[in-house]
Amino acid sequence: MNHPMYVELHARSAFSFLRGASSPEDLIAACARLGLPAIALCDRDGVYGAVRLHKAGEAAGVRALVGCELTMEDGGILPVLVASREGYRALGHLLTTAHLRTAKGASRVAWSELAPASDGLIALTGDEAGPLRRAWRERGGDAAAAAGERLLGLFGPDRLYVELQRHLLPGEEAENRFLVAWARARDLPLLATNGVLHAGPSGRRVADVFTCLRHHTTLDAAGRRLAANGERHLKGARAMAALFADLPEAVANTGRLAERLRFTLGDLGYHFPDYRVEPGETQAGRLRQRAEAGARARYGRAAAAAQPQIERELELIARLGFSGYFLIVEDICAFAKSRGILVQGRGSAANSVICYVLGITAVDPIAHRLLFERFLSEGRKSWPDIDLDLPSGERRETVIQEVYRRYGRRGAAMTANVITFQDRSAVREVGKVLGLSDDLLDRCSRLVGSRDDPSPRALGERLRAAGVVGDQPRLGALLDVCRRLHGLPRHLGQHSGGMVLSAEPLDHFVPLENARMPGRSVLQWDKDDCEDMGIIKVDLLGLGMMAVLQESIELCAQRGEPVDLAHLPPADPATFELIRAADTVGVFQIESRAQMATLPRLRPENFYDLAIEVAIIRPGPIQGEAVNPYLERRAGRQPVTYPDERARPILERTLGVVLFQEQILRLAMELGRFSPEEADELRRAIGFKRTDARLRRMEVKLARAFRDNGVTEAATDYLIRSLASFSLYGFPESHAISFALLVYASAWLKVHRSAVFYAALLNCQPMGFYSAATLVQDARRRGLTVRPVCVVASGAPCTVEGSDAIRLGLLSVRGVRAEAARAAVAARGERAFAHLEDFLARTAFTPGERRALAEAGALNALAGHRRAALWHVAVAAADDDLFRRAAAEGVTGPGNAGAPPAAPLTAMTPWERLQADYATLALTTGAHPMKWLRPHLPGLVPAAELGRLRSGLRVRIGGTVITRQRPGTAKGVCFVTLEDETGHANAIVRPALFERFRSVITLEPALVITGRLQSRDGVTHVIAESVAALGGTEMPVTSSHDFR
Amino acid sequence: MKEGSASPTASPAFAVLRAEAFGVQALRRHDPALAGRPVALLTGAGREFVIAERSPEATGIRPGDPAALALARCPGLCLGERNVEAEVEAQRLLLAAALALSPRVEATAPGMCTVDLQGADAAATDTALRRRLAELARAGLEVRAGLAASPLVAAYAARRADATNPVLVVTDPATFLAPLPLAWAEPAPACAELLEHWGIRTLGELTALPKADLANRLGTAGVALWERSAGQGVRVLRLAEPSRTFAAEWSYEPPVESLPPLLFRLRRYAERVAFELSAAHCVADGLALTLFLEDGAEHRREFRLPEPCGQPDRWMRVLQAHLDTVRTAARVRAARLVASPARPPQVQDGLFDTGLQDAPAFWDNLARIAAIVGDERVGTPEPGDSPRPESFRLRPPAEAIPPPAPAPVHAARGPVLRRFRPARPVCVACAGRRPVRIEGSGWQAAVRDARGPWRASGEWWKPRAWAAETWHVELAAGGLYQLARAGLAWRVEGLLD
């Protein structure tokens, strides 16, 4: 028997956030399995999952229709379907208006807004939360009919369908009978839907858990809020026909309505804004003019040599219609520069000479022989991606707000970042819903690491270790739901810097909503969705090191030693010596423990080596097993070979090893004869993080192409392995070179402007790999003096005194407000503080700030010692300000009040001062705590001595933990770095030992590690054999860089 | 042992009995599995769980340590939360011991009692006190005592006493107080933080500061703290009423099914009842033991002691002899022990004494029923908040008749179901999923019409998830029935009128 076509027109995905329980991709897969030709996604208050549905639908041959459930002002939920592009635009406008006027996460559409927006939209009467059924349940048939009349008035009889659902629940037929009778009375079409919440029956578990999360309750207490059964899954035409055997037209109408819904996201019609030019001028002409001027400035007399490449790029950019894009990005850079804000393009844009001459990037692609096609090519379907690095913090926000100002609140927005359930969050939330105790969940989530094996079995083992015993009756449910939850969206965040601009209001293409940050709006799509839809973003990224460089430049200028980063002496020997010695704490990108362990082996000698150093310690090359071959070849211990002789020109600079994405693309074009279009497809597959299906398809295609072109089986295997590893994150060469500029600049500053560099680093915290405490200890080891905070000498930020002394700023003290610190410095500028009373009278610090300043020793110059200061500020805090000021100014004259009487408190001991330093500053300008403890810890080898000991010796090291790393590429090995008064000691903890001492390693602030010393090529580690807490003392708790 | 100057100035007027780590001790009295193991109690919630108290075996950790860190530092650490029932029990034990010293006793804080000894003979008190401490130790509660001229100093002394010197007498308060930790004077958290910053760690260091300056900085709270640190201040004891009933009732969670755990807790409660009898200068001439079983039944037995006595050891012999012979149909979830008080043997028994003489004081009709069937089994049934068929819950009896509920928007229509209890199993033949014939339990008929199915399922997170599918069928032979299917089994659930 033939069944009528059925299309599910009311499905929700997990992008309804804690409602739908399946991803759009799973819904499409279920449609394909069930033979449904189309599906409409009606997520709550948005089209968050529409692009994913569209892309998955394209691949599976299922038509993805766009819809949405609108939350109305009275709380009713109205499902609407998009029939045309006009309808889509109206929906975007409705949603944007509804979101922007409410707090993040909320949306309310006014009934009055529907009338002008309803063209191109088709309404359904909805499910139990819909206007009709809700009214019927709460107020009876007359109220429901009235609600229906309102919908009829808004949408008319041709754009309103009466929705029927059957979930095999007692009592539902009474509602359906009413709906059928009302529809027949008004001559409206019936429409069968299943109100889908999950792709298959088993998705009901996730839906129930979501219900509990939404209602902040547990499964045991949720009662009737949970689904009564598991029928809200996608059903095929046969099942739906059987369900509605008595109302066949309701099923048949789904196919008819689906045919009316002509709009898909393929018809989006997005345009990047044009750059405004003078009448008679073209954007391409303006770009040429700007490029030629830039070339003269960049290359001077050598501009002619660059001209062919400039011409080639200009011609291609003009032909692809991207001229305006380059001009707009240049405009943003120009704005930043006009405000004195450092800006530098990163990523593949550095492959373009046009970007270089326009001042967008700082890397000369001709000099570095960079591949322009990695950035832009003939076959490229999508827009090029230009990412700009800006100093993090206020300066970056200045640029972002300028973009908003220029393009309007609806013409620019940040791209979204979809926060998904990961193991740790899933265990915590599901455990809570299952009623597991808080302390147990706390232990679980502390022990579930982001790098742990996510399989249910491994998770189960970990939970057992946390005290969820094996026979815990709910462990099975916990593991099962966590597995299903993994990767589903939890809520919408904001991308770190991706901004989308549009010629038309952006909500014509995708709705906007408020970000949590004031003054920001965010799209409902993430960056991959935007790229898939051809929407261009410009990344305005905040980079801590850019802020450090900016700060350093300003400090140097203030000190009369101006530094021009663009004209630093190239190949400075002292700088490279520092880098080769791995003395790189604070240096951009090469300060991590893994980088420091590689530097003595790689021994960089020139700028390009820095780019290799930056690129080589990434998951891509590590997983692709490129690191050791490269280092061995570089050291001459292994011959340089090539997988194929034709690859020699491409891989020569990296000694036959694939290190950069460009190399993969060039190999694909040279050895696999990929067209530019195919190479671009490959590039996108490498960069696509959401699933690896795209990459797998490209791997198969490329392997076939290699073999067809005579590449040997072994070489093909190697190259495909390299490709696979790049999906795990590898750098483009241009990006590595852009970063290498910052590496060199920061290392140069560390060598030649040490005090300024460390002061800037401290002012820009938190950033980088190490805490302020570690930076200060490193500065001290380099011979710098770090002076304590002092209200008569410190500025608000850290400053430089003399040639080699850093003075901590008032803002180094925890809890001190910037405005109060600046005001104090200004008051001191007017007249020096005569004594403590004078200071208290003329500054606006709160009692808490005064206590913190006193405890940090910042008032010592006025009070003698910290406790005396604490004693005196305590009485001031208790006083009424008015009387205190009167006493200070009226009785004894302004600024002439007598010094306070001596305090009856004794001064702090050195150890107490150390504790107070860490409590108030999170660092100490004095000796490292280990210096005080060492006499009590016999047998510990100082870090600085490890390099002088014989490899294989058993040693004990101890110190504060400054890093705990367990990278995914290390197969469970944990790397721990301990800091003592002499430097850093690195330990390697193998997986079995890590599991044994997991709690101690992850929770203790200071450790003693015993193990065998391993030294090679100047790199020293301790292979841990046992780990213990460095207990028995009040070791100050310091921050550490853990598992990131 | 005496602390302070060698020449006593006066007899101590107050004694304080104090149990260190009271919560942990109380928990251990309750749970034999914790004996000898490192134990710590948690306080806070969620991520903020920190150690509140620890047993002496729990080395390497301190109050305030996060729970996870404590586990890392003390392998084998048993973490628990305060057990209010256990603490109430231990507190009653302590109070009874204090009342044996003097009728003027204050239950000052959990694990601490203050005894007014004014007028008591010092030597006799010391003997009695040491005997009581030894008895408490045998009952699982390690208690120290401090004696001084004021309750406050006596409390400090009790805290200062240790296992080697369990009774500490303060004769020179100034010398005694000076080295004590400031925290013992219980400064407010903000005050404590400030004083920590000042480097003030002992009572002596605080009292060395000028009181007026302290008042300028810390206000009245500072003055009060200064006075507490100096051992100053007089207060009137809030006297505790001695117990007039000699009974204990407790529950087992989880219920017990063997004798040792039953006897362990029984002994603990018997010890407390014996202490209370002793404090009232009484002994028991009879005992009544009630065991409450998991299936709702109870086992009750009264014992007439051969000779009135107040020694729990002898009671236990009688009780254990009986319990050795008892076999219950279900696990024991709770127990009650009532001792009938009597004067010591030299006093003649009252002719009309009964074990229930105090019953009117704490029994009323509702409580009696609740005590028999359990509180959770008393109430008015109403439909449960679950789609599960026949789901119901008990609403506690209302204190007033509630107003009538508004009429439902949609009045119930259709037939009424008369449930068969139990439902009747049948064999059902189906065409597709639809029933067409039923046989068994007296039926043998074709199905003329069938409506359904209606499906419900739930509690998938529990070991016993449930699922139900129901149909309404009209038999050819007449009659409208509700059929239910669970797996392959069918049952007729009832008749639809």
Q: Mind spelling out the 3-state secondary structure of A872-920?
A: HHHHHHHCCHHHHHHHHHHHCCCCCCCCCCCCCCCCCCHHHHHHHHHHH
Are B184 and B158 in the same domain?
A: no
Residue A386 identity (one-letter amino acid): I
Cβ proximity of A459 and A445 under 8 Å: no
Are B120 and B183 in the same domain?
A: no
Angle between helices B22-30 and B84-99 (to 10 degrees): 100
Cβ pair A874:B217 closer than 8 A = yes
Closest among B337, B353, B368 to B250, alpha carbons compared: B337
Rounded Cα–Cα distance for residues B474 and B477 (Å): 8
Rounded Cα–Cα distance for residues A160 and B223 (Å): 77
Closest among A5, A101, A8, A91 to A48, alpha carbons compared: A91
Are B253 and B141 in the same domain?
A: no
What is the residue range of B198's domain? Answer: 178-230
Are B195 and B143 in the same domain?
A: no
Are B74 and B100 in the same domain?
A: yes
Are B107 and B184 in the same domain?
A: no
| Of the residues B174, B189, B210, the one at which a domain ends | B174
ipTM of model? 0.72
Are B60 and B36 in the same domain?
A: yes
Are B254 and B366 in the same domain?
A: yes
pLDDT digits (tens, 9 = 90+) for A582-636: 999 999 999 988 899 999 999 999 999 999 999 998 877 887 778 889 999 999 9
Rounded Cα–Cα distance for residues A967 and A989 (Å): 12
Give A69 to chain B, closest Cα distance, Å. Answer: 26
B362 located within any domain? yes
Q: Is A170 on the interface with B (CB under 8 A)?
A: yes
| Of the residues B230, B264, B298, the one at which a domain ends | B230
Interface with A, mutate which of B48, B197, B206, B449 (most A CBs under 10 A) = B197
Please give the order of strands across the beta sheet that includes A344-346.
A344-346, A386-391, A537-543, A489-501, A412-420, A521-526, A512-514
Give B400 to chain A, closest Cα distance, Å. Answer: 26
* DSSP single-letter state for residue A72: B
Distance of CA A341 to the CA centre of its chain: 23
pLDDT digits (tens, 9 = 90+) for A814-831: 999 999 999 999 999 999
Distance of CA B273 to the CA centre of its chain: 16
CB atoms within 10 A of CB B430: 14
Rounded Cα–Cα distance for residues A898 and A888 (Å): 8
Domain containing residue B256: CATH number: 3.30.1490.100
Helices (H), B295-347: 312-323
Helices (H), A263-348: 283-299, 303-320, 323-338
Cβ proximity of A466 and A443 under 8 Å: yes
B382 located within any domain? no
B451 located within any domain? yes
pLDDT digits (tens, 9 = 90+) for A253-292: 999 999 999 999 988 888 788 888 888 899 999 999 999 9
Q: How far is CA A1015 from CA A185, A293, A952, A956, A989, in A?
A: 88, 54, 8, 15, 16
Residue B221 identity (one-letter amino acid): A
Q: How far is CA A231 from CA A516, A653, B226, in A?
A: 36, 61, 70
Cβ contacts of A574 within 8 Å, gap of 6 or more: A751, A752
User: What is the residue-wise DSSP string for B266-292?
Assistant: HHHHHHHHHHHHHHTT-EEEEEEEEEE
Q: Which residues of chain A neighbour B194 with C-beta distances below 8 Å?
A: 851, 870, 874
Are B42 and B128 in the same domain?
A: yes
Band (pLDDT 50/70/90 cuts) for residue A86 is: very high
Band (pLDDT 50/70/90 cuts) for residue A107 is: very high
Q: Is B209 on the interface with A (CB under 8 A)?
A: yes
B364 located within any domain? yes
Which of A140, A228, A446 comes nearest B409 by C-beta?
A: A140
Q: Would residue A560 be called left, alpha or beta, if left means φ above 0 and alpha means ψ between -120 and 50 degrees? A: left
Dihedral of CA atoms B210, B211, B217, B223 in degrees, nearest 10, equals 160
Give the least confident one: A684-698, A709-723, B353-367: B353-367
Rg value, chain B, Cα? 32
B240 located within any domain? no
Rounded Cα–Cα distance for residues B25 and B376 (Å): 30
Interface with B, mutate which of A133, A209, A442 (most B CBs under 10 A) = A442
Q: What are phi and psi of B65, to 5 degrees?
A: -70, 140
Closest among B487, B406, B90, B459 to B265, alpha carbons compared: B90
Give B410 to chain A, closest Cα distance, Å. Answer: 7
Q: pLDDT at position A1043, please? A: 62
- The pair of three-digit structure tokens given for residue A700, joined into one six-digit string: 């198969």
Closest among A804, A811, A801 to A763, alpha carbons compared: A811
Cβ proximity of B426 and B473 under 8 Å: no
Rounded Cα–Cα distance for residues A151 and A115 (Å): 10
- Beta partners for residue B250, in sequence order: B335
Count of structural domains, chain B: 4
Cβ pair B42:A439 closer than 8 A = yes
Question: Before B254, cis peptide (omega within 30)?
Answer: yes
Provide the 3-class DSSP secondary structure of residue A949.
Answer: coil
- The pair of three-digit structure tokens given for residue B489, joined into one six-digit string: 């089994």
* DSSP single-letter state for residue B402: P
Cβ pair A223:B68 closer than 8 A = no
Which of B68, B386, B409 comes nearest A999 by C-beta?
A: B68
pLDDT digits (tens, 9 = 90+) for A906-962: 999 998 999 999 999 999 998 899 998 898 888 999 999 998 999 999 999 999 999
- The pair of three-digit structure tokens given for residue A556, joined into one six-digit string: 């140097």
Rounded Cα–Cα distance for residues A512 and B341 (Å): 79
Band (pLDDT 50/70/90 cuts) for residue A162 is: very high
Which of A223, A229, A442 comes nearest B456 by C-beta?
A: A229
Which of B60, B385, B461 comes nearest A1031 by C-beta?
A: B60
| Of the residues B174, B196, B216, the one at which a domain ends | B174
Dihedral of CA atoms A442, A447, A448, A452 in degrees, nearest 10, equals 170
Q: pLDDT at position A1009, please? A: 96
Helices (H), A494-617: 527-532, 544-558, 573-580, 593-602, 607-616
Does B181 or A998 have the greater pLDDT score? B181
Q: How far is CA B371 from CA B268, B292, B360, in A?
A: 21, 9, 14
pLDDT digits (tens, 9 = 90+) for B72-108: 778 788 888 888 889 999 999 999 999 988 889 999 9
Q: pLDDT at position A464, please? A: 67
* Chain B, window 400-459: residues with a beta carbon less than 8 angstroms from a chain A beta carbon: 409-410, 413, 452-459
Residue spans of chain B under pLDDT 70: 1-11, 45-47, 306, 345-372, 374-376, 378, 396-403, 413
* Chain A, window 957-976: residues with a beta carbon less than 8 angstroms from a chain B beta carbon: none
Are B148 and B185 in the same domain?
A: no
Q: Is A166 on the interface with B (CB under 8 A)?
A: no
Residues, chain B, total? 497
B5 located within any domain? no
- Beta partners for residue A1026, in sequence order: A1010
- Beta-sheet pairing, B434-440 with B417-431: antiparallel
Degrees (nearest 5) of the Cα angle B453, B454, B458? 130
Q: Is A429 on the interface with B (CB under 8 A)?
A: no
Q: Which residues of chain B neighbour A855 with C-beta distances below 8 Å?
A: 197
B43 located within any domain? yes
Rounded Cα–Cα distance for residues A311 and A905 (Å): 77
Are B99 and B204 in the same domain?
A: no
Cβ proximity of A81 and A257 under 8 Å: yes
Q: Is A470 on the interface with B (CB under 8 A)?
A: no
**With 90 as the cut, is the pLDDT of residue A901 above it?**
no
Rounded Cα–Cα distance for residues A807 and A802 (Å): 10
Residue with tokens 């210096």: A931
B388 located within any domain? no
CB atoms within 10 A of CB A231: 21
Q: pLDDT at position B351, please? A: 53
Q: pLDDT at position A382, please? A: 67
Q: How far is CA A698 from CA A145, A671, A704, B66, in A?
A: 56, 15, 10, 50
Cβ proximity of A994 and A644 under 8 Å: no
Rounded Cα–Cα distance for residues B201 and B180 (Å): 8
Rounded Cα–Cα distance for residues A422 and B213 (Å): 56
Are B46 and B136 in the same domain?
A: yes
- The pair of three-digit structure tokens given for residue A836, joined into one six-digit string: 């403590």
Rounded Cα–Cα distance for residues B195 and A750 (Å): 42
- The pair of three-digit structure tokens given for residue A451, joined into one six-digit string: 């790098």
Closest among B472, B475, B473, B421 to B443, alpha carbons compared: B475
Q: Which residue of B has its CA nearest to A443?
A: B68
Q: What are phi and psi of A811, to 5 degrees?
A: -75, -10
- The pair of three-digit structure tokens given for residue A384, joined into one six-digit string: 């090029």
- The pair of three-digit structure tokens given for residue A447, joined into one six-digit string: 């022990």
**With 70 as the cut, is the pLDDT of residue A1005 above it?**
yes
Domain containing residue B48: CATH number: 3.40.1170.60
> Where is B154: in which H helix or E strand?
helix B151-160
**With 90 as the cut, is the pLDDT of residue A199 above it?**
yes
Distance of CA A357 to the CA centre of its chain: 30
- Beta-sheet pairing, B78-81 with B50-54: unpaired
Q: pLDDT at position A889, please? A: 44
Helices (H), A635-660: 648-651
Domain containing residue B219: CATH number: 1.10.150.20
CB atoms within 10 A of CB A280: 6
Degrees (nearest 5) of the Cα angle A7, A8, A10? 145
Does A630 or A115 have the greater pLDDT score? A630
- Beta partners for residue B202, in sequence order: B181
